[in-house]
Structure formats: C-alpha cells, structure tokens
Structure 1
Amino acid sequence: MNTSSYIEKIHSAISSAAHPPPPDPALFKPTTVMALFLFSREPALLFIRKADREGYVWRNQMAFPGGHVDKTDASARQAAFRELYEETGIVSDNVQYIGSLGHFQTVKNRDIQAFTGVWNRKDDLVFDTEEISMVLEIPFETLWQTHREKGYAGHNPGVMELTYPYKDVVIWGVTAKIVHHLLEVVGDISG
C-alpha cells in the first residue's frame, strides 16, 4: 500500500469513529498531545521519552509530544501544535492534520485531548535534553501485533495492565490508553 492509501485509510477510520468525550472541565486541567504518523517503508508513530531527571514527575515515561493548554492558546488543537514544535521542532505546516482522538484522563487530574496527524519528515528533530531524553519511531505494525498478542483487541483493559513494550522502552499509563484507542479505531492498516 502506498503512503496516500495509508493516510486515506487512517483519516477515514478516525473521522468516522466515536472517541472518548471530554470530562467535566472543572475537575481536570486541560492538556493535549499530538500522535504523529510518519512513513518510511511502513507507517510508524512518533514518541518521546521524558528525561531521566531526579524529581521529574514524568521521569523516563514514554509519551506523545504535548503539554498544558495555555491561556494564550486559541484552542487545544493550537496548543498541541505549539507543544509539538516546542518539544520536537516540528512545525505545523509540515503536519497533515487528521483529527481528534478524544479525551483521556490521568490520575493527576489532567484531561488530555489527543490529536493526530501525519508528519512529512521535512523538519530536523530538535529537543531539549532537560525535558526529553529521546525521540523514537515505533512501527505501527509492531504496536498492532502487541495489541493482538496481549489480547487487547476488542476489549478495554484497565490502565494498570495495559502496556506496549518495544525494545528497551514500555508505553504505559494514559499514553497506552491513547495507543489502545488509536489501534482499536484504525485497526490493521497493513493490508
């Protein structure tokens, strides 16, 4: 399948799916992430690993680029693109926006609105090592295979059991919930 066919399939699946609704805004602080697809030989998703700093609340966690919605942000979507640029150097002009994946809550009273798009890879990745230790591309097919092998497909496991290991990292917590939802919505895009 060529890149445009993959993108069309992803866009169709995301735009026609039901996504988790927002919670009561009085109970959660708004945050946002950008789940970016990119293509080499096959589709992959872009992740960051937070820095290994003593006392850093997100220490060594795998995540999508993102952060808090600031009062100066016109929308959560605009905040997602701002955070994407601040954390990776990827500019919004180099991302084909697909849509929102809905809202996901953390145990620390954060509501994360997850967005997705396709990065054309025209930017050089730049990140602050005080906040991010690495940027990692994980093949979508590898995530899908883990999803099936662990029996996650078709059901909604609890956040404590939901993990997606890849090489020497593990995606867990709310990031794993977003990955789970994305995999459930998009499905096997390899054929």
Structure 2
Amino acid sequence: MSSDPSASLRPRRPPVRPSFDPMTQPWSPSALPFTAVPPHRLTPHALRHVLSGEIQRPLDIPNESLIRLPGREGTPVEAAVLVPIVMRPDGLTVLLTQRTAHLNDHAGQISFPGGRVESSDADVQATALRETEEETGLSREFIECLGGLPRYVTGTGFAVSPITALVRPGFTLSPDTFEVAEVFEVPLSFLTDPSNYRFHRAELADGRVRQYYSVPWNQYFIWGATAAMLLGMCQILSEAAASAANEFEK
C-alpha cells in the first residue's frame, strides 16, 4: 500500500508466481554453523545491544538474486520491511502477515509488513514504519526501531532493507484487507533455533536449481525471503551470544 500519489502512475510489473509448490519440494534439516540463541539472550536489553545500528555483513543464507524471475530482471526496486518483535509478558514474539492471494507480488505468502520506498520517505526506516501502519494499523507510537539487517535482493526484483524493532504491547490492529489476509505472532525462541529451519532444493524448468529455507510454524509455511531474513537475524543473535560467552570464560 502506498500514500504516494505518483504510485498509481508507475508502470505495473507483471504478476509472478513460483513455478513450483514451495511446500512440497524436497528438503533436508538445516546444517548451519551456529546454534539456537539461549533464552537469556532473548530479552529486550540483549536485542537492543546486538541489533542497534546497521549490520551489513555476509550471512549464511541463500542469494535469491542469482535467479531472477521473468519480467523482474534489471535494477531491483528499493523496499523496506519492519521486523516487529513484540515484548509479550510470557516471551518475545515476531509479528508477521499473510498476504492476500490476488496480489502481484508474493501473493498468499508470509511476510513482514513493508513495501517499496517512496520519494516522500525520509529513509528506509520511514518506509518500514509507514508501510507497517498502512498494512496492519500498528501505530508507530508503540514501535522502537533498533537497526538494519543486511539488505536482501529477492528473485522477484526487490532490494529489501529489514528494520528490526521492539513493539510495546497494548496496540490495536486494523489490517488493510486488500493486502493483508491475516496478522499473527510467532515466538522469537522458535525463530532463533536453526534446527527449526528446513533447506529446500527446487528444480526449475530451465534446469537451474532454486535453493531456499522454510520455517513452518503451526499452520503457517514461512519460506523464501522472509525465512531467509529471519534466519539471518538468528545467525547474528547466535554469534553474538557465542562471542559474549567466550568473553565471559576468559
């Protein structure tokens, strides 16, 4: 969704859908060089310490930009998403949305609230906050932005800047029913355990192989770019915890 009056004048890119069913592709358990984030490192204080500022280092996640879908070649469209971590009394959660089935991009998929950068946005954080409010109704007065995760280029031609944030409980939601079918929360402890992630390989019609992660939770199949960005955050938090433990032992 966009508040930019020029948005409706932009040429629309062709709709894209995966040429395979992501839920039925062969998979293997993740074999990643980092471990689950310890519970005592999943606190608002610890997250502020690790995630504040810009983090732009290589991570152990697939590079989706190597396989661009037809009609989505060329310079990627700049976009931003919010990674909203809700400070529930019984543990932190991540707020996610399920997109409606008729959209041109990522229809029906699980995603973070967010969208393309508009000329009226001061920066990618402003984009993430604006889009989150437009899509879900989550007011920015409840949001404390922390920092940026590594920019992620998708096969659908978006260069996504993820902005991590802590969200204070007490908010109400009013999702935009055109874009959002559902809003739900997943425990952060589940999403920061790499053993919950699956590594998939899908053979494409042209002989290439698409590699991606998924992290199914209850009835939700979280995969592709959203799973990759969550896994990247898991790696950052896990390695920070390991480094802190090593320093403590010295």
User: What TM-score, normalized by structure 1, do the two folds share?
Assistant: 0.82
Q: CA offset at residue 57 of structure 1? A: 3.1
How many angstroms apart in 1 are the aligned matches of 2:76 and 2:177?
28
CA distance 1:18–1:96, change in 2 (3 Å): closer
Are residues 1:42 and 2:91 paired?
A: yes
| Structure 2 partner of 1:12 | 49
2:235 to 159, 184, 191: 184
CA distance 1:62–1:149, change in 2 (3 Å): closer
- State whether residues 198 and 215 of structure 2, in contact with CA within 8 Å, keep that contact through their aligned partners in structure 1: no
Q: CA offset at residue 16 of structure 1? A: 7.3
2:195 to 148, 156, 159: 148
Are residues 1:28 and 2:76 paired?
A: yes
**C-alpha distance after superposition, 1:88-124 (max 9, x if no partner):** 1112221111111120001122100000111112321
Q: CA offset at residue 35 of structure 1? A: 0.2
Are residues 1:171 and 2:217 paired?
A: no
- State whether residues 196 and 215 of structure 2, in contact with CA within 8 Å, keep that contact through their aligned partners in structure 1: no
Which structure 2 segments of 5+ residues have no match? Answer: 1-38, 59-64, 66-73, 200-208, 242-250
User: What is the aligned-residue identity percentage?
Assistant: 21
CA distance 1:151–1:130, change in 2 (3 Å): closer
User: How many residues get paired?
Assistant: 179
Q: How is 1:59-98 mapped onto 2 (pairs within 5 angstroms)?
A: 59-98=107-146
- State whether residues 34 and 64 of structure 1, in contact with CA within 8 Å, keep that contact through their aligned partners in structure 2: yes
| Structure 1 partner of 2:159 | 111
How many angstroms apart in 2 are the aligned matches of 1:181 and 1:103?
11
Q: CA offset at residue 44 of structure 1? A: 0.7
SS in structure 1 of the partner of residue 75 of structure 2? coil
Q: CA offset at residue 170 of structure 1? A: 1.2
SS in structure 2 of the partner of residue 45 of structure 1? strand
CA distance 1:66–1:151, change in 2 (3 Å): closer
Are residues 1:126 and 2:163 paired?
A: no
Single out whichever of 120-129 and 61-70 deviates more from structure 2.
120-129
How many angstroms apart in 2 are the aligned matches of 1:20 and 1:174?
17
How many angstroms apart in 1 are the aligned matches of 2:212 and 2:165?
27
Which amino acid is 2:48 matched to? H
CA distance 1:18–1:136, change in 2 (3 Å): same
- State whether residues 54 and 148 of structure 2, in contact with CA within 8 Å, keep that contact through their aligned partners in structure 1: no
**C-alpha distance after superposition, 1:54-97 (max 9, x if no partner):** x6432210000000100111111111110010011112221111
Single out whichever of 27-36 and 6-15 deviates more from structure 2.
6-15
CA distance 1:80–1:159, change in 2 (3 Å): farther
SS in structure 2 of the partner of residue 178 of structure 1? helix
SS in structure 1 of the partner of residue 235 of structure 2? helix
Could you say which structure has the larger radius of gyration? 2
Which amino acid is 1:130 matched to? F
Which amino acid is 1:10 matched to? L
How many angstroms apart in 1 are the aligned matches of 2:154 and 2:84?
21
**C-alpha distance after superposition, 1:26-68 (max 9, x if no partner):** 8221100000101220111000000123x64322100000001
- State whether residues 50 and 134 of structure 1, in contact with CA within 8 Å, keep that contact through their aligned partners in structure 2: yes
Over aligned residues, Cα RMSD in angstroms?
2.9
